[in-house]
Structure 1
Amino acid sequence: MAAAGALARARWPRLVAAGRPLHVGPAAWAGHNRWSKVRNVKGPRDAARSRLFQRLGMMLRAAAKEGGPDPALNAQLANVVEQCRAKNMPKASIEAALRGAEKASSSSSRLLYEARGPGGAALLLEVLTDNPRRSQQAVRLLLARHGGAMADGARHSFERKGVVRVAPRDRRGRPVSLEGALEAALDAGAQDVWEDEDEEDEEEPALKFVCEASALGAVRERLEAAGLLPLSAALEYLPRDTVPLAAAAQEQASRLLDALSTCPDVVRVYDNIR
């Protein structure tokens, strides 16, 4: 039996593709492949999805604290609800967060931390917490472990902009070309448009239309009137200039960003890494 196993391994070598191991072999290996997929792909993906929904719930509570729990009277809250739906957050979870928003929001605070990462990269961290001291200590520790530190002045590397994220297909199901998106941006009063690099799992990347913060609502309405499908509209910090990092610093920065993404109080991290 041992010899037969060795022969099978020799005949069916392990291949590596798309960053994960693939086994090509007899049908008897299928169960092993399914388990590997669940363990190595589905498990981390579900964990990331759970963290995403937790952060969206935090954003709902923060928006409710600042402008009230009714999306019809609170544009910021309405934008967050849009983001929740675009990320396929269950309707029941959204409604539960909205029902508890008024009560929970009284004890939470929205903070913005400035930091420097490996290679001098600038970082901005949006934090929502009911214990600022605890959150600051947790963030400081993560930064120190991965070559970063809290630092004043990082905010000057960013500017606050309105960002409308639009589906890659219009209301009629037709793909939106980059040329068509640029024309729509001009008509809507947006300053720029590019593909959404944050959504790597999507077969067709969404489009991001960038505008002045004060024009966010108007740009969204004009894009929708032009037949496009807005998925979300929010204010974001975009880098004024990006900085290149050497390979070692790039790898260290990647580990830092991954670590910050697991911090329960960190809602979003902005960086100016090229």
Structure 2
Amino acid sequence: MCRSCWRLVSRRTQKPLRWTFFPQVWGAVGPHAWEKGEGDTPKSAEPRMGEGNVKGPRDAARSRLFQRLGMMLRTAAREGGPDPALNAQLANVVEQCRAKNMPKASIEARSAAAASRLLYEARGPGGSALLLEVLTDNPRRSQQDVRLILTRNGGTMAEGSRHGFEQKGVVRVGPRDLQGHPVSLEAALEAAVEAGAQDVCPDEDEEEEEEPALKFICETSALRTVRERLEASGLRPLSAAIEYLPRDRVTLPEGTREQAERLLQALGDCPDIVRLYHNIQ
């Protein structure tokens, strides 16, 4: 038997020396399992490179991916609304999330957070009526920001402005059809009648574009049907949403109109305001 497997347990006593046997452990962990300065921890018990340290980086990468996808969901919902059936961009992002195995609950939570909308009523210069659709995760901050913009530009928060508007379904269609051909006003009117829309007009919000989109207006209950029929007729829908349209418009004098334009510009620059409605001619 190997002498190193024995330990001397008594050196001072007058009794005969006793030896205590410890089982040999070299076969389990090797003769160099305990080294100087390593305490009582065998080297074989330490985690090996590439085993215990893999899960952390993988989880971090997955978390970063889901964070990016979540931001894409919020942005898509902010620009086109929270319903994937009416928002092609959001539907595309949702498909990407599913392909990356993002949990359904996480997808719904990101979209729901982005879909938290508020409607502020306000008055502008010359008694003009304003409705501000706000998308925010901090209503108090957003209300303070909007109130400050209004105060600095001759406006004020005021209840009752909503009565000057009515809700309508609005389908925006690209100026060119699915084959790339320009859509004439006559063709748009014919498509509107066939789709069940009440009216069609150029999109005033895109005056800077060389070819502005067309707005097809319908009842809110017919929004999805009108969109599907317009697409089936060969047109290219860009978005479909329920919006507030003014019942009547007001004409402002020159000086007041300039102030109103500055107010509309300042409100348009506010990142929390996703839609701005007014009745200014």
- Assess if the C-alpha contact under 8 Å between 1:61 and 1:101 holds in 2: no
Give the aligned partner of residue 216 of structure 2: 209
Tell me which of 191, 199, 223 is aligned to 1:184: 191
Deviations 1:85-112 (A, max 9, x none): 9xxxxx889968x977544456663110
Separation in 1, partners of 2:111, 2:186:
43
Unaligned runs of 5+ in 1: 1-52, 64-75, 86-90
The answer to whether residue 205 in structure 2 is matched with residue 198 in structure 1 is yes
3-state SS, counterpart of residue 202 of structure 1: coil
> Per-residue deviation at 1:265?
1.7
The answer to whether residue 136 in structure 2 is matched with residue 129 in structure 1 is yes
Tell me which of 149, 153, 160 is aligned to 1:146: 153
Q: Superposed, which structure 2 residues align to 1:1-274 within 5 Å?
A: 56-57=75-76, 59=78, 63=82, 76-82=83-89, 102-104=108-110, 109-274=116-281
- Assess if the C-alpha contact under 8 Å between 1:57 and 1:94 holds in 2: no
- Assess if the C-alpha contact under 8 Å between 1:55 and 1:267 holds in 2: no
Deviations 1:207-235 (A, max 9, x none): 11000011000001111111111111111
User: Which one has the bigger helix percentage?
Assistant: 1
3-state SS, counterpart of residue 198 of structure 1: helix
- Assess if the C-alpha contact under 8 Å between 1:116 and 1:123 holds in 2: yes
- Assess if the C-alpha contact under 8 Å between 2:74 and 2:110 holds in 1: no
- Assess if the C-alpha contact under 8 Å between 2:174 and 2:213 holds in 1: yes
Seq. identity, %: 63
- Assess if the C-alpha contact under 8 Å between 1:56 and 1:80 holds in 2: no
- Assess if the C-alpha contact under 8 Å between 1:114 and 1:150 holds in 2: yes
Deviations 1:34-78 (A, max 9, x none): xxxxxxxxxxxxxxxxxxx99844627972xxxxxxxxxxxx234
- Assess if the C-alpha contact under 8 Å between 1:61 and 1:105 holds in 2: no
> Per-residue deviation at 1:172?
2.7
Give the aligned partner of residue 14 of structure 1: none
- Assess if the C-alpha contact under 8 Å between 1:127 and 1:267 holds in 2: yes
Structure number with greater Rg is 2
Separation in 2, partners of 1:221, 1:227:
10
Separation in 2, partners of 1:159, 1:114:
14
Residue type of the partner of 1:164? V
> Per-residue deviation at 1:136?
1.1
3-state SS, counterpart of residue 173 of structure 1: coil
* Structure 2 CA distance for partners of 1:95 and 1:140, relative to 1, 3 Å: farther
- Assess if the C-alpha contact under 8 Å between 2:86 and 2:224 holds in 1: no
Deviates more, 1:100-109 or 1:143-152: 100-109
* Structure 2 CA distance for partners of 1:118 and 1:217, relative to 1, 3 Å: same
Number of positions where the alignment pairs a residue of Structure 1 with one of Structure 2? 203
**Root-mean-square deviation (Å):** 2.9
Separation in 1, partners of 2:132, 2:144:
14
Residue type of the partner of 1:221? E
Separation in 1, partners of 2:245, 2:87:
18
Separation in 1, partners of 2:160, 2:95:
36
